[in-house]
């Protein structure tokens, strides 16, 4: 069986691709190398195609002989989506539409789509879950909701098996280039710089370790049903609590924190209920925050040492 991973050079892809290979999949990666790079895949022996999901010619090559697509390619930056919603829409919605149409033309009907939880639901009393009415407050969340709509429509109209997995805040090894909070904090700690927190630090998120998330994705490939499932840790953690755990991990190194005004478009409190994914997939995110941060920091140190 051959799987195409779009955006496979990104943080999640760089962790997922080796696991797919080890599980016996023939893996092909399509990535435009804007956010990720081919060398992030290390000794990947599968097929790599440099190209963009918005390019029909690249899609035609990438989809040849493929049985299932794991769609990770996206512009995932919330604040940047507010500054440039047209770009975010073009990559996420137009790109996904072209991918799904190219799949339909080739008779490929199995799609696992990377979506997002908090950004789609918007400001709501947590924990967020799949039955909540979406109310995105930034263009990024709106575009990911639109892609979920495409998945639903292609499932209903064209017989697709399209599963959208709503990711929480993912962290872990191979995230040096990622803009998310854990990676950004560890980069600044490694450089001896103060952490920058927008707001008072009491905003709450759901931090899920990348190995747990990849396990959920692989179970999603085998699930072969359409719909939406939430993947996270199910544990609410404030940014201040996150920093406290980081202090324990990097000790005796000292962490300074600088607090700045909160930013427009960011949700104050969100975490997710993963009970549906547990029931449907057997999903079991069991990596503690302390363990996950320790593994992530160890990887950052190894990368910094050039190993």
Please provide the CATH number assigned to the domain covering 2-168+209-232+273-285.
Answer: 3.40.50.720
73 is written with which tokens?
A: 């390619």
DSSP for residue 280: H
**Beta bridge partners of residue 272, listed in sequence order:** 128
Indicate whether 241 pLDDT > 60: yes
Superfamily of domain 181-203+236-271+291-304: UDP-galactose 4-epimerase, domain 1 (3.90.25.10)
Task: With CA atoms as reference, report the closest residue to 293 among 182, 195, 206, 211.
Answer: 182
User: How do beta strands 110-116 and 68-71 pair?
Assistant: parallel
Task: With CA atoms as reference, report the closest residue to 90 among 54, 36, 137, 55.
Answer: 54
Q: What is the CA radius of gyration of the chain?
A: 19
- Select which of 140, 171, 223, 283 is catalytic: 140
Residue 171 designated active-site:
no
Secondary structure class of 216 (helix, strand, coil): helix
pTM value? 0.94
Q: Where are the domains of the chain?
A: 2-168+209-232+273-285, 181-203+236-271+291-304
Indicate whether 307 pLDDT > 70: no
Give the tens place of pLDDT for each residue, 257-303: 999 999 887 888 999 999 999 999 999 999 999 999 999 999 999 87
Read off φ and ψ for residue 244, nearest 5 degrees: -60, -40
Q: Per-residue pLDDT averaged across 30-44, rounded?
A: 91
């Amino acid at each position: 069986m051959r799987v195409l991973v779009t955006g496979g050079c990104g943080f999640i892809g760089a962790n997922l691709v080796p696991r797919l290979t080890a599980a016996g999949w023939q893996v092909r990666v399509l990535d435009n190398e804007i956010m990720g790079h081919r060398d992030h895949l290390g000794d990947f022996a599968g097929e790599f195609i440099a190209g963009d999901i918005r390019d029909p010619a690249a899609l035609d090559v990438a989809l040849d002989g493929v049985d299932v697509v794991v769609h990770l390619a996206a512009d995932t930056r919330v604040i940047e989506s507010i500054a440039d919603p047209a770009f975010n829409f073009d990559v996420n919605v137009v790109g996904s539409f072209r991918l799904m149409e190219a799949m339909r033309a080739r008779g490929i009907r199995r799609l696992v789509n990377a979506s997002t939880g908090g950004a789609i639901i918007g400001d709501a009393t947590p924990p967020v879950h799949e039955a909540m009415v979406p109310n995105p407050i930034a263009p990024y969340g709106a575009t990911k909701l639109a892609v979920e709509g495409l998945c639903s429509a292609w499932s209903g109209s064209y017989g697709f098996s399209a599963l959208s997995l709503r990711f929480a805040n993912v962290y872990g090894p191979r995230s040096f280039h990622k803009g998310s909070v854990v990676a950004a904090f560890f980069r600044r700690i490694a450089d001896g710089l103060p952490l920058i927190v927008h707001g008072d630090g009491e905003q709450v998120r759901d931090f899920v370790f990348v190995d747990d998330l990849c396990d959920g994705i692989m179970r999603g490939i085998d699930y072969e049903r359409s719909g939406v499932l939430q993947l996270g840790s199910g544990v609410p953690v404030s940014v201040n609590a996150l920093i406290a755990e980081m202090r324990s991990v990097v000790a005796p190194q000292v962490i300074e924190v600088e607090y700045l005004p909160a930013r427009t478009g960011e949700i104050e409190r969100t975490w997710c209920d993963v009970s549906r994914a547990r029931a449907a997939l057997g999903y079991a995110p069991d990596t503690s925050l302390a363990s996950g941060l320790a593994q992530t920091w160890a990887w950052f140190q190894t990368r910094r040492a050039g190993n």
